[in-house]
A and B are shown apart, each in its own frame.
Chain A
Amino acid sequence: MAITEENPGYKWVGTRPIRPDGLEKVTGKAQFGADLMLPGMLFGKVVRSPHAHARIVSIDTTAAEAMVGVKAVITGSDFPDLAANGAHASDIDVANNAIAREKVLYEGHVVAAVAATTREQAEAAAKAVEVTYEILPHVLTVDEAMAEGAPLLHEGMITKGVDPAPEEPSNVASKILHERGDLEQGFGEADVVVEREFTTKPVHQGYIEPHAAVADANTDGRAHIWCSSQGHFQMRAYSATVLGVSPGTLKVTAAEIGGGFGGKTVIYLEPLAVRLSQRAGRPVKLVMDRDEVFRATGPTSGTRIRVKMGVSNDGKITAAEVWMAYEAGAYSGSPVGAAGMTAIACYDIPNFVVEGYDVVCNKPRVAAYRAPGAPMAAFAVESVLDDLARDIGMDPIDIRLANAAVEGTQASYGPKFPRIGFVETLEAIKDHPNYTADLGPNQGRGVAAGFWFNAGMMSSATVHINENGTATVVTGSPDIGGSRQSMALMAAEELGIPYESIKAVVADTETVGFNDVTGGSRVTLATGAAVVDACRLIVEDLRARAAKTWDVEVDQVEWVDGQAQHVDGSQPPLSLSDLAAKSGRTGGPISANASLNSRGVGAGFSTQLCDVEVDPETGVTRVVRYLTAQDAGRAISPDYVEGQMQGGVVQGIGWALNEEYIHDQDGVMENPSFLDYRIPVASDLPMIDCAIVEVPNPAHPYGVRGVGEVGIVPPMAAVGNAINDAIDVRMTDLPMSPVRILEALTEQRD
């Protein structure tokens, strides 16, 4: 671990205790979304569109309703028509994506759902729902969707962000633009200019646990939902919108979650399960199979990106021009906005234009995926930067150091950076033995960097002191990356009691204050700050109780190592367990709440070093060595920080080498299984070496920045740059599969 700032003597923060959820998960006791069984529970099944784009002419449910065991059948007309009610456009999209109304916009789009006594009955009934479609022409890629005369998904879609607004509708939902300086002058100052065009395919988050939800509706209109998600408050809000009810009528309990990576911040099954339960008068469980997960959830955008960059011979980037189009899937909202802000954010570039388009097409609506939008843009920019370094004969780390954003740099997306650790990640790579390790035949080495904002947002926490002086830390942030351990470590540090004396739990929407989703790498930062605030309130309370016991002023009492101590030592110390045992006589139960809107995010940077070996006869690429350096701000739980760093890299390697959505001519997905949608398996990977960099975020009590996302930004370019180094072929299309590499090598030979 590369520590750039001295650890100020923390006892618990930065240690590696045993993970609190491990035992239950390993023994199979942990309850995931699909595990809950309720008495009288029915099984649901969703009916999905087989067409990429079609008008729903009619839906006949009579045959399905008459089948044995069937208790409810619902369609879009069982939900309020938000468009007719004048709802916000984004809410209408959420509702129409959950269940289609007039049109289906992608293969897998929900058109109906059934609930029956057994799973088999539900499956049979789903097949018996008769849907008549009028098939419409479809568009699958940004190229098709942006073409002249392309069929429209939404007849009224006028591109936002263009002045004057276009008169004709199109599939382009919006345009973004970031500009600075004078592009022409910048390119004029360059000694070398490289321009390339890149494409990437939609890729799925690939969480192992498929979506699942159980709903139990009461006759008074209230309902309880159990689901696996990245934010049960968000599930409550979205479900309430789609169902047309007040959020307070829904209670949502978070199940353990088997991965999300952004893909479980949106709703699919929850409102359907509630409506089915209301119609049937029984609890209903809906679980997706893998095929449905691929066809109808996630993924992130396929893209086309052009990058032109110039450097002077001393390695200074003089100008950058980036054009990008991101697939949004069926409804607007691709992450092109974030892509535009992050594309060149690592560097201090005087002249640039970054232009982006959010484009709808007949594929599943994209969902967030780790640093949404940034990885594709970084693939393009970091590949071109690698070419520029080669052209001027400069070391790839040195060219990045020569342009690196530092404290005070005006970020390409606007604000001035506070203290950031990009340079430190570059240096950590350069100082690591991997940087100079020998390469064998057909091997190559690549470097790439990435930036992600990290989010703040709103969190609440409650801390209870139990009667024996142990503590319970309650938050509403689903633990997808180890947050229970991080919360407990920070609470241990604050309260001065052992980590083992603290239990961190994730409570339902009625038991703890509001929490935004577990996303944007924000939980250790924001929810962690709420936990620290609550602990500090507890410590104040404890000091007051000790002062009262000793009959002294509060300022005579210090809280040290889990004990109240009199400043002059005139009283025997009172431990937390002493005070807890006597709480009934000193003011009652000891507990505190804290709620906050995060006080300041800390941007994250990652630099990565990849060594590959390419088989020139088969095009197979193996990653033989990999190093990732990332600024964590402060690694509260280094085990989990490394887990996040490694996980991002692994997903990035999959994205780089093999993962892609493959559609046939009709817009039907051809590879909706883990056999043909190839995420990496363990044996594909070397040990992912980690260098944790710690440049504390001044806005967090422990300096936390957030680590969940930036790690997936550099890998595609790092792998591509290493391939280029190995075989002298610049791969511009993802995935860099054996077929594509062999094609490129054959072209190179001819």
Chain B
Amino acid sequence: MKYIAPSSVEEATSLLSTSPSAQVFAGATDVVPQLRAGRSAPEVLVDLKKIEELVSMAKDDDKWTVGAATPTANLTEDEAFSGEFPGLSEAAGLIGSDQIQNRSSLGGNLCNGSPAADSVPAMVVNGARAVIAGPNGTRVLDVAEVVTGPGQTSLEADEFIVEFEIDRMPARSGDAYLRMIPRTEMDIAVVGAGARVTLAEDGSIEEAVVALGAVAPTVVRVPDAEAALVGNTADDETLSAVAEAASGVCNPIDDKRGTVAYRKQVAGVLAKRAVLIAIERAEQRNGSK
């Protein structure tokens, strides 16, 4: 096995196009356990952390740009970021432990393709986009479009994600992410729920996005919950509609981590709770960005 650490995006893409069994990695917190378990055996491992733009965070008036290999610890430590996207920041802060978060990345969390990846529902509700580099330059794809099934992405073998773009949080908006695990940390989500809302001047909900993790082969949006929220407030009726819709879109499996019935029921509960937190945060963000 060969280890290569390119220092530019171009160097990395040309490496990938010339060595077909190469695999990129960032924190390797998924890659190393998979190697150890004999589940993968790439000939070349390409370390993305030596490429500057992949390990950086920046914002302008329109958007945040987060390098795909940036340690997720940075997302929780950067007060400007975590103040603006508390839900995404908290989701990133749930990954493993401090030690893991000093290595783990959004790019790895997404491209590992686990239905239970914690940051993905939070990225989806915030409309994050992936900037993907390949031999012919870059393309931009919604995060929601990247994963196609457990362990599967729509990226070509010679492509990788350079960075994520997330539009600045508008006024009167807030996000949230909650997960259910039997323990309090070092565990894998049995259900994850992300929500983002924007309130109208009158306090009613103007826009809403709800997405669930760990209850289907990929992260799923809950359009019926979003529709139930828009134009309403978080009254009991609306919230039960959200819960029902969330339970309804679940397509989970029965396994050692949870039953179908459990996952459906709890998906509804967490979706409802995440929406409530997002609303509370939106109410506090009355001012500008």
Q: Please report the C-alpha to C-alpha distance between residue A495 and residue B190 in the assembled complex, in whole angstroms.
A: 59
Say which one of A45-53, A458-466, A678-686 lies at the interface with B. A678-686
Contact, CB under 8 Å: B183 / A684 = yes
Q: State A742–B188 Cα separation when bound (angstroms).
A: 19
Q: Is B257 an interface residue (CB 8 A)?
A: yes
CA distance A680 to B184 in the complex (A): 9
Closest to A127 in B: B38
Asked whether B269 is an interface residue with its Cβ less than 8 Å from the other chain, the reply is yes
With contact pairs A658-B182, A678-B183, A683-B184 given, residues A742 and B262 touching in the complex (Cβ less than 8 Å): yes
The stretch from A212-220, A669-677, A724-732 touching chain B is A669-677
Residues of B within 8 A of A746 (CB): 265
User: Which chain B residue has the least Cβ–Cβ distance from A616?
Assistant: B269
- The interface residues of chain A lying within 8 Å CB-to-CB of B256 are 662, 670-671, 676
Interface of chain A residues 680 through 739 with chain B (CB within 8 A): 680-681, 683-684, 737-739
Interface check A657, CB cutoff 8 A: yes
A618-B180, A618-B266, A671-B256 known; 8 new pairs, CB 8 Å cut-off, are A622-B184, A675-B186, A681-B183, A681-B186, A684-B184, A738-B266, A739-B259, A742-B266
Knowing A671-B256, A676-B256 are in contact, say whether A737-B265 is a contact too (CB < 8 A): no
Contacts of B182 in A (CB 8 A): 620, 657-658, 678, 737-738
> Counting CB contacts under 8 A, is B258 at the interface?
yes
Mind listing 15 A-B residue pairs with CB under 8 Å? Answer: A617-B266, A662-B256, A675-B188, A676-B256, A676-B257, A681-B184, A683-B185, A684-B183, A684-B184, A738-B190, A739-B258, A739-B262, A743-B261, A743-B262, A746-B265
CA distance A57 to B92 in the complex (A): 52
Given the known inter-chain contacts A658-B182, A671-B256, please indicate yes or no for A678 contacting B266, CB distance below 8 A: no
- 1/0 per residue, CB under 8 A from A, across B180-198: the answer is 1011111110100000000
CB proximity of A137 to chain B, nearest CB, Å: 23
A742 to chain B: which residues have CB within 8 Å? 262, 265-266
- In the assembled complex, how far is the CB of residue B176 from the closest CB belonging to chain A, in whole angstroms? 16
Enumerate chain B residues within 8 angstroms of A743, measured Cβ to Cβ. Answer: 261-262
- Least CB distance, B99 to chain A, in whole angstroms: 13
Alpha-carbon distance A737/B256, docked complex (angstroms): 12
CB distance from B182 to the nearest CB of A (A): 5
Contacts of B188 in A (CB 8 A): 675
Q: Is the CB of A738 within 8 A of B183?
A: no
Q: How far is the CA of A658 from the CA of B187 in the complex (A)?
A: 12
> Which of A620, A670, A671, A737 has the most CB atoms of chain B within a 10 A radius of its CB?
A620
Q: Which residues of B contact A622 (CB under 8 A)?
A: 184
Chain A: which residue is nearest B186 at the CB level? Answer: A681
A617 pairs with B183, CB closer than 8 A: no
The answer on a CB contact under 8 Å between A738 and B180 is: yes
User: Which chain A residue shows the least CB distance to B255?
Assistant: A670
Known: A681-B183, A681-B184, A738-B182. A617 touches B269 (CB 8 A): yes
Most buried by A among B180, B185, B186, B262: B262
Q: Complex: how many Å from CA A618 to CA B269?
A: 7
Given contact pairs A671-B256, A676-B257, A658 touches B266 in the complex (Cβ within 8 A):
no
Which of B183, B186, B269 has the largest number of chain A CB atoms within 10 A? Answer: B183
C-alpha spacing A657/B182, complex, angstroms: 9
Q: Whole-angstrom distance between the alpha carbons of A55 and B182 in the complex?
A: 39
The chain B residues found within 8 Å of chain A, CB to CB, are 180, 182-188, 190, 256-259, 261-262, 265-266, 269-270
- Name B97's closest neighbour in chain A (CB-CB): A681
Nearest chain-A residue to B259 (Cβ)? A739
Contact status B185-A681, CB under 8 Å: yes
Which residues of the other chain, A, contact B187 by a CB distance below 8 angstroms?
A: 675, 678
On chain B, the residues within 8 Å of A618 by CB distance are 180, 266, 269-270
Q: Closest chain B residue to A676 by CB distance? A: B256
Residues 624-658 of A at the B interface (beta carbon under 8 Å): 657-658
Cα distance A249–B183 in the bound complex, in angstroms: 48
Closest beta carbon of chain A to B138's beta carbon, Å? 36
Contacts of B265 in A (CB 8 A): 742, 746
B177: shortest Cβ distance to chain A, in Å? 15
Cβ contacts under 8 Å, B185 to chain A: 681, 683
The 6 closest A-B pairs by CB, nearest first: A683-B184, A617-B269, A739-B262, A662-B256, A684-B184, A670-B256
- Minimum C-beta distance from A34 to chain B (A): 16
A620 touches B257 (CB 8 A): no
* B262 touching A738, Cβ below 8 Å: yes
Q: Which residues of B contact A670 (CB under 8 A)?
A: 256
Q: How far is the CB of A655 from chain B (nearest CB, A)?
A: 14
A295 to B8, CA, bound (A): 46
A residues less than 8 Å from B269 (CB atoms): 617-618
Which residue of chain B has its CB nearest to the CB of A677?
Answer: B256
Report B214 CB to chain A, min CB distance, Å: 14
Chain A: CB-nearest residue to B262: A739
Shortest Cβ gap from A611 to chain B (Å): 17
Interface-centre pick from A618, A662, A670, A683 (highest chain B CB count, 10 A):
A618
Q: Of residues B185, B190, B265, which shows the largest number of chain A Cβ atoms within 10 Å of its Cβ?
A: B265
Docked CA distance A737–B190 (Å): 13
Bound form: Cα–Cα A737–B183 in Å: 10
Complex-state Cα separation, A620 to B262, whole angstroms: 12
Q: How far is the CB of A388 from chain B (nearest CB, A)?
A: 31
- Pick from B180, B186, B259, B261: contact of A620, CB under 8 Å: B180
CB of A484, distance to nearest CB on chain B (Å): 31
Give the complex CA separation of A743 and B182 in angstroms.
Answer: 15
| Whole-angstrom distance between the Cβ of B186 and the nearest chain A Cβ | 5
What residues of B have a CB within 8 angstroms of the CB of A619 in the complex? 262
Chain B neighbourhood of A617, CB < 8 A: 266, 269
For B266, what are the chain A residues with a Cβ–Cβ distance below 8 Å?
617-618, 738, 742
Please name all residues of chain B whose beta carbon is closer than 8 Å to the beta carbon of A658 when the two chains form the complex: 182-183
Distance in Å from the Cβ of B212 to the closest Cβ of chain A?
14
Nearest-neighbour CB distance to chain A for B36, whole angstroms, equals 9
When distances are taken between beta carbons in the complex, the residues of chain B under 8 Å from A675 are: 186-188
Most buried by B among A678, A680, A737, A746: A678
Shortest beta-carbon distance, A126 to chain B, in Å? Answer: 12
Instruction: List residues 113-149 of chain A with CB under 8 A from any CB of chain B.
Output: none
Q: Give bound CA distance, A658 to B184, whole Å.
A: 12
- Nearest CB in chain A to that of B268: its residue: A617
Which A residue sits closest to B190, measured CB to CB? A738
Q: How far is the CB of A230 from chain B (nearest CB, A)?
A: 27
Are B183 and A680 neighbours in the complex by a CB distance under 8 Å? yes
- Residues of A within 8 Å of B261, CB to CB, are 743
CB distance from B192 to the nearest CB of A (A): 13
A residues in contact with B180, CB < 8 Å: 618, 620, 738
Minimum CB–CB distance for A96 against chain B, Å: 29
**CB contact list, A604-623 vs B, under 8 A:** 617-620, 622
Within 8 A of B (CB), among A41-73: none
| Docked pose: A684 CA to B266 CA in angstroms | 20
Q: Would you give the shortest CB distance from A662 to chain B, in whole angstroms?
A: 5
Q: Give A735's nearest chain B residue, CB to CB.
A: B182
Residue of A nearest to B261 (CB): A743
Which chain A residue shows the least CB distance to B180? A618
Task: Please name all residues of chain B whose beta carbon is closer than 8 Å to the beta carbon of A680 when the two chains form the complex.
Answer: 183
A571 to B161, CA, bound (A): 87
Instruction: Report the Cα distance A684→B187, complex, angstroms.
Output: 12
Q: A738 vs B185: C-alpha distance in the bound complex, in angstroms?
A: 15
The residue on A at minimum CB distance from B178 is A618
Chain A residues contacting B183 (CB-CB under 8 Å) are 658, 678, 680-681, 683-684
Most buried by B among A671, A739, A742: A739
A620 to B179, CA, bound (A): 12
Which residues from A are CB-within-8-Å of B270? 618
CB distance from B276 to the nearest CB of A (A): 13
Residue in A662, A680, A681 with the greatest tally of chain B CB atoms within 10 Å: A681
For A676, list chain B residues within 8 Å (CB).
Answer: 256-257
Distance between B114 CB and nearest chain A CB, rounded to angstroms: 12
Interface hub of A617, A620, A657 (most chain B Cβ within 10 A): A617
Q: Which of B182, B184, B185 has the most CB of A within 10 A?
A: B182
Q: Which residues of A contact B190 (CB under 8 A)?
A: 738
B49 to A: closest C-beta gap in Å: 25
